[in-house]
Structure 1
Amino acid sequence: MPDALLTFLLRTGDNALILSHRLSEWCGHAPALEEDIALANTALDLLGQAQLWLELAGAVEGKGRTADNLAYLRDASSFRNLKMVERPNGDYGQTLMRQFLFDAWHHALLADLTTSADTRIAGIAAKAVKEVSYHLGRSSDLVVRLGDGSEESHRRMQAALDELWSYAGECFVADDRDKAAAEAGIAPLPESLKPAWDRVVLDTLKAATLAVPSTRFVHKGGKQGIHTEHLGYILAEMQFLQRAYPGATW
């Protein structure tokens, strides 16, 4: 059971950490000042959540590792995030579509976690779900506005959806650790979140006049530490200071 709990915490924390880093790459480069600020705030929310999850992971592990140790001193194969969150930002449409597909799943997960049998997890989720409610409202609104906007914005949003759809399925694929966590009442089975995700996503895509991709292929492996080359580049940048100057503090 400790293994299942630790794995769940690492997966949840790593998702927030890596997506936070991806969003931070837009700082100073977003297409409008309002979007620049909004993305930076979303990145900060996710970074704060990552710290809470990873601090708890370190405590559960019992080896003296902190959230900083887990963020800056693990290699790519030790990260347990979904492949979707490490995908390159691409154009702004791709970033927004990735955020929306993640937000819809993240919100459903956190809402369920507020009743976790582990009170520490329930407490973190109760705080995080308020932030993610805002994230989902914002990303879904922008998907509709751009999908049902100009011919060019519609084309870009459809292209983004077509590219990212096969990565979203990993959110709902369970392994033995997921099943053990569910049996202990720690977290829901991944597939149990699919109906809530479908309702939000399909209603939003319909309003955005976007066609749901027909592919059933699912990119998997991120939850088990098998990643795309993109994660390596993220970590090379994110971990540089700590790797170059071990133990450095401000």
Structure 2
Amino acid sequence: MNKRILLNCDMGESFGVWSMGDDAHAMPLVDQANLACGFHAADPLTMQRTVALAAQHGVAIGAHPAYPDLVGFGRRHMACSAEEVRAMVLYQIGALEAFCRAAGTQLAYVKPHGALYNDLVRNDALLAAVLQACAAFRPGLPLMVLALADNRREQRLAAAVGVPLLFEAFADRAYLADGQLAPRRLAAAVHHDPERILQQALAIARAEPFPDLDGAPLQLRADSLCVHGDNAESLAVLRRLRAMLDAA
């Protein structure tokens, strides 16, 4: 078992009277919390409360910036320029950092959300823009990106601006052969079988092969493993996985 792998979860995604996820139960189980910053979900009070919850449990806080798409939950691709993306990422991480400072803590990393996260895999200009935002905000602020079969592109662009990278894999998502996530429009894109989620999570934690969408073996090396807290099956797996990692 790879003891160094961390567990992360997307949180703070409620908005006004609409509740999303089970942050109270997921927070004590993870090492890193990716907190919405108001563009795809969350509002100031939700951000304040979720930062406080993370600080209470000693969980590292990551900004989870997105395209300005509340209606689509940040999962719709938007025709934003690199300059716009750099500005909107700075805006969002700055807002979250304000709540971190008020709570006596600080932002630990940045993980883009949804369509923006996926666009970084294919668009050099957008990835460079997000890396520049991280570098401008605070030297040494890490960016969390998708662990692929080959991440030399991400490493090259990050090295150019001196931004550390955290590579992330997913326990409850299906993968394509190159390590990209299977599009959510596909019926099998999200795993719901608790045993399958756990098996994939353990394989990633051990840096062992697991089946991609077509059943072929895929091996990823990740620093952090994401389990979505708004998936009831994943939350149950998160409890079991946390216990296994702690016992290893």
Q: Would you tell me which structure has more helix in proportion to its own residues?
A: 1
Structure index of larger Rg: 1
Shared topology, TM-score over 0.5? no
Q: Would you tell me which structure has more strand in proportion to its own residues?
A: 2
* TM-score relative to the length of structure 2: 0.30
